[in-house]
Amino acid sequence: MLRSTITAAKRVILSVGSGDGSQQAAIVKLGHHNVVSTFFDKEQEVIAKYGEAQEHITLLRDKATVLFEVDATELHSHPQLAKKKFDIIFFTFPHTGVSNFACGYSGPNPTSIESNKQLIKNFLKSAQYIIAQDGEIHITLKTSRPYDKWTFPDFAEYEIEPKSNHGFNAELFPGYVHKSTKGHMKHVINGMAKTYVFSKKRKRRDESEIGEAGDGEFSTSTPFTLTMQFTVANDDDIERLVMEVLSLRQDATRDVLDIRRQLPKAMRPDTRQLNRVLYGMEVVKKVKRGPSKTCNQKPTWTLT
């Protein structure tokens, strides 16, 4: 696991799509300074999106290496990365920023699904060239809707292969906060997230040694899908999800049923809980109530 490997001082770690830098800062605070943290945006854009980013970046600059405007799909051609070999390359909750849900679709936005599948595919294709022989690539993803529609590429033409997977525990990185790609949410719920691990392809083993993948392993010969897991969400969890849904298109009018349909199935509340959350958010002026749609008597809701 990533947490258990960062204590080895000689490990060289590359972080891709570092968000607000809080996870990377946590790794450095745990005593590992052989870290290169990369961000897709310019430094000023990162700081503008994430209020706490400046503090994390300052720490990372002091103890590690920080690079901005780094494309996760072009790591192998980056002038400061191309000639290096990393023991661990990790990408925690990759996302292109294309909205998961969009008007005109009853389910997840297919454009978002396809763009993120391509992001993962091209990231892996690039990262495979800069990992050490015994190195690993870690991708952490949610397993709820619509992330269950994201898939990994066919590894037949890759130099890497699936190795294992394990549950992601954010508490192992003190101070880490999952932020949205666009920066419009202060905290994103991780849900039942998993980290998928990839490594250089091993030499072909004797058929007698090849069996079914064991616990925590998955192979290229076995069809792979993300597993839908259900968890009970409290009111704070639901409030954060509602904020995300209502921020997709702020000019759209949604009643409680519209909002509920767009929430991840794995954490979808009943309408009574959702109504309680909405009316509570109205009291603190996070949302405002509008007229009901003509087809029912349920009020519509928008962000304030």
Give per-residue pLDDT as tens, 200-211: 998 633 343 444
The model's pLDDT over 39-94, given as tens digits with 9 standing for 90+, comes to 999 999 999 998 889 999 999 999 999 999 999 999 999 999 999 999 999 999 99
pTM of the model: 0.65
pLDDT in tens, 159-193: 999 999 988 888 888 889 887 766 545 556 666 78
Residue 203: what pLDDT?
63
Which run of H or E residues covers position 43? helix 43-49
Considering only 15-24, 97-106, 219-228, which range has the smallest mean pLDDT?
219-228
Q: What number of other Cβ atoms are within 10 A of residue 180's Cβ? A: 20
Neighbour order of strands in the sheet with 160-167: 65-67, 35-38, 13-16, 86-92, 131-141, 194-200, 160-167
Element (H, E) at 53: helix 53-63
> Which residues sit opposite 301 in a β-bridge?
254, 289
CA distance 121 to 69: 20
Which of these, 177, 14, 11, 174, lies nearest to 90 by C-alpha position?
Answer: 14
Band of pLDDT at residue 99, cut at 50, 70 and 90: confident
Going along the chain from its start, the domains and CATH numbers come out as: 2-209 (3.40.50.150), 235-303 (1.10.10.10)
Indicate the burial class of 90 (C-beta count within 10 angstroms; 0-12, 13-18, 19 or more). buried
Q: Using only the alpha carbons of the chain, give its radius of gyration.
A: 21
Query: Which residue from 227, 203, 223 is spatially nearest to 213, judged by alpha carbons?
Result: 223
CA distance 225 to 143: 10
**For residue 143, what pLDDT is reported?**
85
Place of tokens 């949302």: 287
